[in-house]
């Protein structure tokens, strides 16, 4: 596996090019990850992308990257999006869809893609179906991770994220080698603003109301793969690969 892709085209948008892009695969994977906030989608995305070579396209990461832009560089829509995110609410579909449409070239990446956190509403799923159809692409699978809510809250409260490369750790279940320092790039590990208890409650409600119905939507299309998210990340990864091999 080559150097980790910097995802510059996805995170920054516009005409920005990635400095290291995934190598073109003969049969690139094109996947969507579903699941409640904190179930472990980002952790599995990292493992899957390392092994299968596709690019990790997280809409949440676009918003978090926008926080480091100067105030004059943020559009009013992006500024408003950061407010929704801080409160744990979903960002309006139109804002999210504009960002994804601007980055449609990322869906054509030769290494494939793994969408994490998008789509999150049925309207977003319908827009993605239109985009993929127009681009001549097909989703291989939609992986839905499932875990009881008490276990999810434990995962969220101990999460620490690298301020620089966005790698995800957990204070007890996935600690970094040196406390507070990222294993990959040496960046500082921070707690996310939306992991405060009030914001977590709002995120769970938004998930139940708007995102959970997507499992029925994708089941009806025959692409849904349900993966129990109990156990260590490596076990869940192996379970995912077995489920995926049965699908592709």
User: Which residue numbers are catalytic?
Assistant: 41, 120, 159, 192, 203
Alpha-carbon distances of 117 from 124, 143, 225, 241, rounded to whole Å: 11, 12, 16, 20
* Residue 124 binding ligand AP5, by CB under 6 A: yes
Residue from 66, 143, 168, 182 binding ligand AP5 (CB under 6 A): 168
Distance, in Å, from the CA atom of 158 to the CA atom of 174, rounded to the nearest integer, reads 9
Q: Which is nearer to ligand AP5, 103 or 170 (CB)?
A: 170
List binders of ligand AP5 among 73-112 (CB under 6 A). 84-85, 88-91, 96
Q: Which is nearer to ligand AP5, 17 or 101 (CB)?
A: 101
Q: Which is nearer to ligand AP5, 110 or 157 (CB)?
A: 157
| Residues 6+ positions from 13 with CB-CB distance below 8 Å | 62, 99, 102, 103
Residue facing ligand AP5 at closest CB distance: 60
* Residue 155 binding ligand AP5, by CB under 6 A: yes
List binders of ligand AP5 among 193-212 (CB under 6 A). 194, 203
> Contacts by 238-246 with C-beta closer than 8 Å and gap 24+?
240/44, 240/48, 240/143, 241/51, 243/141, 243/143, 244/29, 244/31, 244/140, 244/141, 244/143
Q: Which of 91, 57, 95, 89 is nearest to 75 (CA)?
A: 95
Whether the Cβ atoms of residue 135 and residue 104 lie closer than 8 Å to each other: yes
Residue from 6, 74, 137, 158 binding ligand AP5 (CB under 6 A): 158
Interface residues toward ligand AP5, by CB under 6 A = 35, 37-43, 58-60, 63, 84-85, 88-91, 96, 117-118, 120, 124, 155-156, 158-159, 168-170, 173-174, 194, 203, 231-233, 236
């Amino acid at each position: 596996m080559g150097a980790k892709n910097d995802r510059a085209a996805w995170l920054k948008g516009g005409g920005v090019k990635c400095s290291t892009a995934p190598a073109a695969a003969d049969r690139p994977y094109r996947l969507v990850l579903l699941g409640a906030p904190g179930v472990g989608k980002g952790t599995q995305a990292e493992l899957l992308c390392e092994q299968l070579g596709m690019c990790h396209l997280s809409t949440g990461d676009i918003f978090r990257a926008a926080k480091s832009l100067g105030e004059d560089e943020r559009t009013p829509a992006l500024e408003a999006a950061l407010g929704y995110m801080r409160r744990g609410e979903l960002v309006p579909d139109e804002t999210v869809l504009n960002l994804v449409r601007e980055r449609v070239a990322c869906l054509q990446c030769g290494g494939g893609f793994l969408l994490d956190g998008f789509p999150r509403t049925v309207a977003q799923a319908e827009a993605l179906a239109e985009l993929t159809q127009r681009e001549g692409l097909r989703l291989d699978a939609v992986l839905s991770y499932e875990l009881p809510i008490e276990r999810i809250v434990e995962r969220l409260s101990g999460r620490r994220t690298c301020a620089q490369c966005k790698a995800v750790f957990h204070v007890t279940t996935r600690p970094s080698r040196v406390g507070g320092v990222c294993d990959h790039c040496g960046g500082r590990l921070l707690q996310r603003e939306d992991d405060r208890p009030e914001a977590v409650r709002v995120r769970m409600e938004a998930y139940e109301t708007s995102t959970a119905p997507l499992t029925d939507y994708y089941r009806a299309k025959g692409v849904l793969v349900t993966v129990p998210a109990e156990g260590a990340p490596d076990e869940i990864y192996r379970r995912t690969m077995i489920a995926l091999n049965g699908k592709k």
